[in-house]
Structure 1
Amino acid sequence: MEKSGLAEFNVKIVESCLVPPCLPLPRYTLYLSSLHNQPLVRINSNALLVYEGCENVLADPAKTIREALSKVLVYYYPLAGRLRKKEDGKLQLECTGEGVLFVEAMVDNSLSVLGDLDKLEPSFKKLLFRFPSDAAIEDVHPIVIQVNHFICGGFVVAVSFQHMVCDGRGIGQFLKGLGEMARGHIKPSTEPVWDRELLRPRNISVHNLELTKEKIESTSNSWIPPIYKESTQMSLNLDLETIKYVKDGIMLECLDNCTTFEIVAALVWQASTKVLEIPHTQNVSISFAVDARTSFNPPLPNGYYGNGVVAADAQAIAHDVINKPLSYLVNIIKKTKMSLTNEYLRSIIDTDGFSSDQANISLSDWRWLGFNEVDFGSGSPVNICPIYWNENGPNISNGFDFIHSPKRKCDAFKVIAWMPPQEFNLVEIEIKAITNKYVINASKC
């Protein structure tokens, strides 16, 4: 898929309907845990999955996916229901069997109009059905799927899901199951497990309260990010060779291994802190989503598709974030990840101790959610892109996602950002300056 400067196209809705499970199912209400009620997941998450036209392309992808959807919902029946608010304001899920909203659309252009989805253009929002921003939560479907046919034979599957029902890994599991049913499987290879009850709170103890108090107090003297009038979804690419140079350099500095994610988080943290001109005496944090499924004791079962994500906040004084070596930040990030023990996670659930404050900087890792494995019968997607958009523009400030680059750029990763264009350009310059130091040092060895 080649880049193009053109980003204008028209989308015509062919059909919009509810797709219920193909078998009748009982109607009852399901419990949602504190992890499903925390402020950070009370959002819609959206993704575009791009499938290129080829000899094996589906003759009618919308028909194939719609029929498979009715079959897979027999196993993922809660997703055909609706969210409901209890008297205390918390959410639960009513299994109504109403179905998933399915939209079929035609696009008057070829996939080349999308380029590599490096920048979110206004036309792109036509590919995704969106409920009004003031819609009641009871009226918003847990999942919406829109299949967009392009004139080249390719298609884009746009998925919108309520994060209060399942996290990215959960929806990735669902989509892989949907793809399997589209390819003729009798049932999904991974059996879905609801089991939100495993995350019920225990009896609150003094120890629990102290852990939560410590978490809240640790955010004091933190820099409060401004509210931007304009934010744009843009992206930068990091090639694997450069990441390897940085990783090798950091390992020499701290004599310890580190992951690619920890390097990217440290780069984003340091570069953004410089660009945002945060006062040097204030705390600055980077919040990153951690899949805590295996951190619980016992671990959440295989096939669990609910929210297993917890926000981890790595914090330091702005002066140190800017001036210390990258290995210093990597070490803080590693320690923050290690602090998410079973006891800490349980104590947070016990006390609903989730902060509703906006993070200074946030980063999510989309590489392992499973979207790149979703195959409806014509192969895996050639590109995947998260898309966050409300009526007034992107709903995230200083937010970053770490994803795989398009298939044709298999030697790189992509970092997507939501921030004003001028700040983003400066962040990109800073990241290149930081990584270039490691590249230069490696060439001297």
Structure 2
Amino acid sequence: MLGLKSWWCMLENMLLCLQFVLYVTLTCIMHDGMKVTRLRCGGFVFGIQVCHNLMDAPGVTQFLQAVGELAGGMEAPSVRPVWARELLDARDPPCPSYQHPEYELAADAANDRLRPGAELVHRAFLFGPKELSSLRDQLPPRMRLRCSRFLLLSAFAWRCRTAALGYAPGDEVRFMFVVNARGKRGRPLPEGFYGNALTFGVARTTAGELCSGPLGRAVELIVAARARVAADNYAQSVADALVLLGRPRFTTARTYLVTDLTKANLHNVDLGWGLPVYGGPATTTLATFHIPAAGGGITVPMCLPPRAMVRFTANVRAGLSEASSHRGRSSGVESAVLSRM
């Protein structure tokens, strides 16, 4: 039999988990952000909209997994929810130890190619193993084995997108990506933390250098940005900088923002009817995602003005077809091919 202390611990755990589920569920309902659509085939679409101030992608996945486990009869979720927001508080006084270009305004930001209210076209691009292999062949031999799919595809899409938007050669362009602060040194977050635990990495160069240089150069820029974000106490520095800067919004002008969802496990959430056919964002805006696809591929949704979308599609096709037809040629030829995009 369980003693009084054990019963109390079990009750406390159940109440905390129930509070977690109710808190997020009520927040979704109040923001008109939860909807179930039944399909004629017998399937259904379960969609939620959550304010990013509440949680990030791992937090959303944890919440949905908890809902599925409780619906399946478990007394408590397998991962106990943890609040612990105080671990990400700024210091007193705030003392940033790094630069944070993600909150620096871009020069002449008002003249960006993407403007609020402009007509935009949505399209998804699937990069399977064959396409990824073709892109990898464009890298110098020393980089091919060490370059992740995220780095490879990000660098390629950044170049195609920048060329499609038609920026002037001297315009600064940025690639910004989301980095999960869980598991980092400094202030480690406990398992079950479901709040926002993300920072941004930023790679910067000019449009001319990005589009005329080889693909490997774009990869190197992103690798260097990732190394800066991985430094000790970077997340703490972000919190300090946000307080001093008055909590500004991150910059978006001439910026390609990507979130990698290939490890978010949204596609493995079981709400009681088995694994989903698709698990991920319903659409994209000026930011985009890397979404896992069947067969080891990655889907990249893109949102661009109509003419830019036509150019982006052509750039992707040209880059892939040229890479396949010129395998084994020198990096100089690769550079010339890519500079025509």
| TM-score scaled by length of structure 2 | 0.80
1:403 aligns to 2:291 (yes or no): yes
Alpha-carbon distance between aligned partners in 1 of 2:140 and 2:71, rounded to the nearest angstrom: 45
Q: Deviations over 1:248-304 (max 9, x none)?
A: 442516466111111111111100111111111121001111112123424211211
Aligned runs of 1:179-198 on 2, under 5 Å?
Answer: 179-198=68-87
1:416 is the counterpart of 2:301:
yes
Q: 1:80 to 1:186 in 2, by over 3 A?
A: closer
Instruction: Confirm or deny that 1:140 pairs with 2:31.
Output: yes
Secondary structure at 2:37 match in 1: strand
1:81-109 C-alpha deviation (Å, 9 max, x unpaired): 49xxxxxxxxxxxxxxx93556xxxxxxx
* Separation of aligned partners in 2, 1:367 and 1:146: 24
- SS of the equivalent of 1:375 reads coil
Amino acid at match of 1:284: V
Q: Which amino acid aligns with 1:344?
A: Y
Query: What is aligned with 1:322?
Result: 211
In 2, the alpha carbon distance for the partners of 1:216 and 1:164 equals 17
Give yes or no for contact 2:165–2:308 (8 Å, CA) kept in 1: yes
Residue correspondence of structure 1 range 282-297 to structure 2 within 5 A: 282-297=171-186
Distance of 2:56 and 2:85 partners within structure 1: 12
Matches within 5 A, 1:112-123: none
User: 8 Å contact 1:232–1:418 — kept in the other structure?
Assistant: yes
Which residue is 2:19 aligned to? 77
Q: How many angstroms apart in 2 are the aligned matches of 1:375 and 1:78?
A: 18
Identity %: 23
Paired amino acid for 1:420 = P
Q: Equivalent residue of 1:345, what SS?
A: helix
Verify: 1:425 aligned to 2:307, yes or no. no
Partner of 1:358: 252
Equivalent residue for 2:320, pick from 424, 431, 435: 435
| Structure 2 partner of 1:337 | 226
Q: Check the 8 A contact 1:261/1:365 in 2, yes or no.
A: yes
Q: Is the 2:64–2:271 contact (alpha carbons within 8 Å) kept by the matching residues of 1?
A: no
**How far does residue 212 in structure 1 lie from its aligned partner after superposition?**
4.3
Aligned mate of 2:98, from 195, 211, 216: 211
| Structure 1 stretch displaced more, 71-80 or 233-242 | 71-80
> Which amino acid is the alignment partner of residue 140 of structure 1?
H
Residue type at the aligned position of 1:75 = C
DSSP 3-state at the match of 2:326: helix
Bigger shift: residues 374-383 or 349-358: 349-358
1:278 aligns with 2:167: yes
* CA distance in structure 2 between the partners assigned to 1:233 and 1:76 by the alignment: 38
Matches of 1:235 and 1:183 in 2, distance apart?
A: 34
Q: CA deviation at 1:195?
A: 0.5
Q: 1:99 aligns with which of 26, 46, 52?
A: 26
Letter of the 1:377 counterpart? G
Counterparts of 2:177 and 2:100 in 1: how far apart (Å)? 20
Runs of 5+ consecutive residues of structure 1 not aligned to the other structure: 1-24, 27-70, 83-97, 103-138, 389-393
User: For residue 266 of structure 2, what is the amino acid of its counterpart?
Assistant: F
Paired residues in the alignment total: 312
Distance 1:148 1:294, change over 3 A: same
Instruction: Encode CA deviations 1:196-242: one digit per residue, 9 max, x unaligned.
Output: 1101111336x62x734777568447773431521132211111122
* Residue 101 to residue 304, structure 1, CA distance change in 2 (3 Å): closer
Measure, in 1, the Cα distance between the counterparts of 2:14 and 2:303. Answer: 34
Q: Which residue of 282, 286, 307 corresponds with 1:387?
A: 282
Distance in 2 between residues matched to 1:304 and 1:296, nearest whole Å: 16
Give the 3 Å change call, closer, same or farther, for CA 197–339 of structure 1 in structure 2: same
- Residue of structure 1 in register with 2:337 after alignment: none
1:163 alignment counterpart:
52
Q: What is the distance in 1 between the residues matched to 2:34 and 2:235?
A: 33
Deviation at 1:333, TM superposition (A): 0.5
State the alpha-carbon separation in 1 of the partners of residues 99 and 290 from structure 2: 29
Tell me the CA shift for residue 412 of structure 1: 2.5
1:146-181 per-position Cα deviation (integer Å, ceiling 9, x unaligned): 222112111111111111100011101111121122
Matched AA of 2:98: L
Distance 1:251-1:80 versus aligned 2 partners, 3 A rule = farther
Provide the C-alpha distance between the structure 1 equivalents of 2:102 and 2:131, rounded to a whole number of angstroms: 35
**Which amino acid in structure 2 is aligned with residue 364 of structure 1?**
T
Question: Is the 1:145–1:159 Cα contact (8 Å) retained in structure 2?
Answer: yes
The alignment yields a C-alpha RMSD, in angstroms, of 3.1
C-alpha separation between the residues in 1 aligned to 2:236 and 2:144? Answer: 33
Displacement of 1:73 in angstroms is 8.3
Greater helix fraction, Structure 1 or Structure 2 = 2
Task: Indicate how the Cα distance of structure 1 residues 438 and 350 shifts in structure 2: closer, same or farther if over 3 A, else same.
Answer: same
2:49 is paired with a residue whose SS is strand
